């Protein structure tokens, strides 16, 4: 085995990308992503703050990979100078993982880093956290997904949980609506108004979401800034899965935007049926399989600080649930909530825990060895 720095040997990028298919080749739940090597290769353009590493066998078969990133700003809630490990994939081989982590830790220590955090693909706007189960049901669309042995590989190396998250499932949305309706009616009486997303003004609507998200989530754990352009790029291809009547904005008495709820149909089966392709037959499979969706995924919910406690959070949740139910989604997923977040209670008392997730940390010694 040898570990390759892809800055020095960029011809190994195809092997870096290929490893994902090796890891998940027998996994019935895995959603293959369209091949987009140019986007991935663009991630580590600056050798001074990002290092892509790939472990390969003697015959150049990929067995583990990661990209180390030093963020440009210290995330909210962090005091150490940190390095991030993201884009992690590996076969179940603790010895290999130790070797590639040792290499990453040495590189970070040379640059004055005192803590490694991961998995995180650069920031919390992108993919981060491990799914720690239970693994007995398919994932929902855009849920963090990984083999069950990934957390064990990290913990055996000495990583410890930094933050916990969870998702909850509401089996019957109809039962959750009455407990939330009173908040919606109260907000309407108090002068708040609500409107749905307008796909005809797609970029302008994304700009509203961006401005609200920056203000609402700026104090969230591990928050860092993102540019408007980058935010738009995150949702550039989401038009096929966005439904106008599932994304809602709240406006105050002065008609200023003060909150939003972002929900999507759980098109997991439809996206999986694409098999990572974008040809016409794959798109037809996607359209056919969309009708299998039963769940509504509540992805994001936020209210400006000055209006917290007004009932806007439950009111926006009610609008998303009600419209989802009317569109034929009888159940819902409350997605990826921080364990300390009060929004975990926005279920009308009708939810059940479906999954947990962990973000890990590992301290570094000044001599380049993890501790």
Instruction: Tell me the torsion sign for CA atoms 140, 142, 147, 152.
Output: negative
Segment holding 166, helix H or strand E: strand 160-170
Q: What DSSP element (H or E) covers 5?
A: strand 2-5
pLDDT at 337: 94
Q: At what angle do helices 173-189 and 312-326 cross, to 10 degrees?
A: 130
106: burial class by Cβ within 10 Å (0-12, 13-18, 19+)?
middle
pLDDT of residue 40: 56
At 203-221, the pLDDT tens digits run: 999 999 999 999 999 999 9
pLDDT digits (tens, 9 = 90+) for 233-252: 999 888 889 999 999 999 99
Give the end-to-end CA distance of the chain in Å, rounded to a whole number.
24
Give 212's contacts (C-beta < 8 A, 6+ positions apart).
257, 258, 259, 260, 302, 304
The predicted structure's pLDDT at residue 319: 97
Q: What confidence score (pLDDT) does residue 45 get?
A: 53
Across the chain, mean pLDDT equals 92
Rounded to a whole number of angstroms, the CA Rg of the chain reads 21
The candidate with the shortest Cα–Cα distance to 62, out of 23, 98, 94, is: 23
Kind and range of the H or E element at 242?
A: none
Please, are residues 56 and 4 in contact by the beta-carbon 8 Å criterion? yes
- Give exposure, 172-201, as e/b (b: 16+ Cβ within 10 Å): ebeebbeebbebbeebeeeebebebbeeee
Strands 62-69 vs 50-56: parallel, antiparallel or unpaired: antiparallel
SS3 of residue 194 by DSSP: strand
User: How many CB atoms within 10 Å of residue 317?
Assistant: 26
CA 295 to chain centre: 18
Using CB atoms within 10 Å of the CB of residue 203, give its burial: 0 to 12 exposed, 13 to 18 middle, 19+ buried: exposed
Is the per-residue pLDDT at 182 higher than 90? yes
What are the tens digits of pLDDT across the range 33-62? 765 544 555 554 556 789 999 999 999 999
Rounded to whole angstroms, how far apart are CA atoms 228 and 218?
Answer: 15
pLDDT for 39 equals 55
201 confidence band (pLDDT: 50, 70, 90) = very high
Q: Give the three-state DSSP class for 99.
A: helix
User: Per-residue pLDDT for 367 more than 90?
Assistant: no
DSSP tag of 346: T
- Amino acid 348: pLDDT: 79
């Amino acid at each position: 085995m040898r570990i390759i720095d892809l800055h020095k040997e960029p011809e190994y990028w195809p092997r870096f990308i290929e490893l994902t298919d090796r890891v998940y080749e027998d996994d019935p739940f895995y959603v293959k992503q369209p091949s987009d090597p140019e986007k991935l290769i663009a991630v580590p353009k600056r050798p001074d703050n990002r290092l892509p590493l790939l472990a390969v066998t003697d015959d150049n078969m990929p067995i583990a990979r990661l990209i180390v990133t030093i963020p440009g700003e210290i995330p909210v809630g962090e005091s150490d100078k940190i390095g991030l490990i993201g884009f992690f994939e590996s076969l179940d081989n603790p010895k290999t993982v130790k070797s590639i982590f040792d290499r990453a830790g040495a590189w970070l220590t040379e640059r004055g880093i005192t803590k490694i955090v991961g998995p995180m693909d650069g920031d919390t706007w992108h993919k981060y956290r491990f799914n720690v189960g239970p693994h007995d049901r398919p994932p929902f669309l855009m849920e963090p997904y990984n083999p069950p042995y990934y957390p064990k590989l990290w913990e055996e190396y000495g990583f410890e949980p930094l933050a916990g998250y969870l998702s909850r499932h509401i089996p019957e949305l109809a039962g959750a609506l009455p407990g939330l309706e009173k908040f919606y009616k109260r907000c309407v009486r108090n002068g708040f108004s609500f409107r749905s997303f307008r796909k005809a003004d797609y970029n302008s609507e994304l700009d509203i979401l961006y401005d609200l998200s920056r203000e609402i989530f700026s104090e969230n754990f591990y928050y860092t800034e993102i540019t408007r352009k980058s935010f738009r790029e995150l949702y550039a291809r989401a038009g096929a899965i966005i439904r106008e009547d599932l994304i809602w904005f709240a406006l105050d008495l002065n008609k200023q935007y003060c909150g939003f709820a972002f929900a999507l149909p759980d098109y997991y089966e439809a996206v999986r049926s694409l098999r990572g392709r974008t040809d016409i037959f794959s798109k037809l499979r996607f359209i056919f399989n969309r009708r299998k969706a039963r769940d509504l995924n509540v992805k994001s919910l936020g209210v400006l600080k000055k209006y917290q406690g007004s009932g806007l959070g439950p009111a926006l949740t009610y609008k998303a649930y009600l419209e989802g139910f009317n569109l034929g989604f009888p159940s819902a997923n409350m997605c990826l909530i921080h364990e300390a977040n009060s929004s975990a209670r926005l279920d009308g008392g009708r939810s059940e825990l479906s999954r947990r997730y962990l973000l890990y940390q590992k301290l570094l010694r000044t001599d380049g060895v993890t501790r």
